[in-house]
Amino acid sequence: MNKTMTILAAALMVCGTGVAMAKCDCNECYQKRGGGFMEGEPQISTVKAAMDMADDSMVTLQGKIEKRIKKDKYTFQDATGSMTVEIDKDIWNGQTVTPQDTVVISGELDRDGKHAKLDVEQLTKK
């Protein structure tokens, strides 16, 4: 019985408006369901706000990639602070980005205790 209730609870995940995500049409729910048409631009957040968000939150940031830390990890900075971002090589889509370039990155926040990094799923050079 408990296993059935857990499965039902997971299937009926609700968004911040209290609507079942499968029926909700807000941009955040579209992203969590894996894509689709979104009306308008994603809402750009800040590094400071992202650092307070829950694990697995979808985040869009605008700023600069300051430096490469190692392999696919970089330091990203906006006017409110900096954080580590992970950008796999296929995300670059042939774009060359320097520390002087402004980019918009979107991805999933990966929180490990007090530390958070953004697993970038999309990068656009402005």
CATH number at residue 113: 2.40.50.200
How many domains does one find in the chain?
2
**pLDDT reading at 12 higher than 70:** no
The tens digit of pLDDT for each residue in 63-93 reads 999 999 999 999 999 999 999 999 999 999 9
Residues 52 and 28 in one domain: no
Q: How far apart are CA 50 and CA 18, in angstroms?
A: 22
* Burial category of 58 from C-beta neighbours within 10 Å (exposed 0-12, middle 13-18, buried 19 and up): buried
Confidence of residue 38 (pLDDT cuts 50, 70, 90): low
Check: CB of residue 84 under 8 Å from CB of residue 61.
Answer: no
111 is a domain residue = yes
Q: How far apart are CA 43 and CA 57, in angstroms?
A: 13
Residues 58 and 83 in one domain: yes
**pLDDT reading at 7 higher than 50:** no
| Percent of the chain's residues with pLDDT above 90 | 61
Q: What are phi and psi of 5, to 5 degrees?
A: -65, -40
112 is a domain residue = yes
Q: What is the pLDDT of residue 73?
A: 97
86 is a domain residue = yes
| Percent of the chain's residues with pLDDT above 70 | 67
Confidence of residue 43 (pLDDT cuts 50, 70, 90): confident
Range of the domain at 24: 2-32
Residues 71 and 27 in one domain: no
Residues 20 and 71 in one domain: no
pTM over 0.85: no
Check: CB of residue 38 under 8 Å from CB of residue 52.
Answer: no
